[in-house]
Amino acid sequence: MSPEVFDFLNGITNSEDNNSLSVSSVRDILKINLQNKEYTVLKTINGIDVTVINGLSFYKNRLIGHESSKASVFCLNENSNEIVKHEVPDTKDEFDSSTTGEVGNGYFYFIVNSQIQALFLR
CATH code assigned at 35: 2.120.10.30
- Render pLDDT for 82-102 as a digit per residue (tens, 0 to 9): 999 999 877 666 666 666 778
Q: Does residue 117 register a pLDDT over 80? A: no
The yes-or-no verdict on residue 120 having pLDDT over 80 is: no
Q: What is the pLDDT of residue 118?
A: 67
Q: What is the pLDDT of residue 71?
A: 82
pTM flag (> 0.75):
yes
Q: What does the pLDDT read at residue 53?
A: 85
Domain extent for 27:
3-120
In contact, 114 and 97? CB cutoff 8 Å: yes
Q: How far apart are CA 102 and CA 64, in angstroms?
A: 9
**Of 53, 38, 44, 45, nearest in space to 7 by CA:** 53
Count of domains observed in the chain? 1
